Amino acid sequence: MNHKAIRALYSNVVSIDDGAGAFDKDGNKVEIDMDAVNAWVDPKAYVAKRQSEYPTIGDQLDALWKGGDAQTEMLAKVMAVKAKYPKVTT
């Protein structure tokens, strides 16, 4: 079960048992639409993907200090990563 998706879609869920289901604060079972859960896309998933591909902060700062072509090339690298992993808008 995708716990993150369930918690995002069902704010009343306080516990999840993969074998038994999801439950509210009173222990009542919450009916889960698994199609909705499986279709859910983490709106923050792009963050980790971008972080792993950005040039190091040291390289970015170096390019800023150098300016000119180095700065322009670094901006292009950063913007390429942003384009590859866009923010999810709902």
Q: Where are the domains of the chain?
A: 3-39, 45-84
Q: What is the rounded distance in angstroms from the CA atom of residue 28 to the CA atom of residue 68?
A: 62
Distance CA 66, CA 37 (A): 48
User: Over 70: is that where the pLDDT of 37 sits?
Assistant: yes
CA dihedral 48, 76, 73, 65 (to 10 degrees): -60
> CA 10, CA 2: separation in Å to the nearest integer?
12
7-27 pLDDT, tens digit each:
999 999 999 999 899 999 999
Q: Rounded mean pLDDT of 15-42?
A: 94
Q: How many Å apart are CA 10 and CA 75, to the nearest integer?
A: 40
Could you tell me if 53 and 84 are in contact, meaning their C-beta atoms sit under 8 angstroms apart? yes
Residue-level pLDDT at 29? 96
Q: Would you mind telling me the total number of residues written for the chain in this entry? A: 90
Structure-block tokens of residue 66 = 């150098």
Q: Which two tokens stand for residue 7?
A: 């918690």
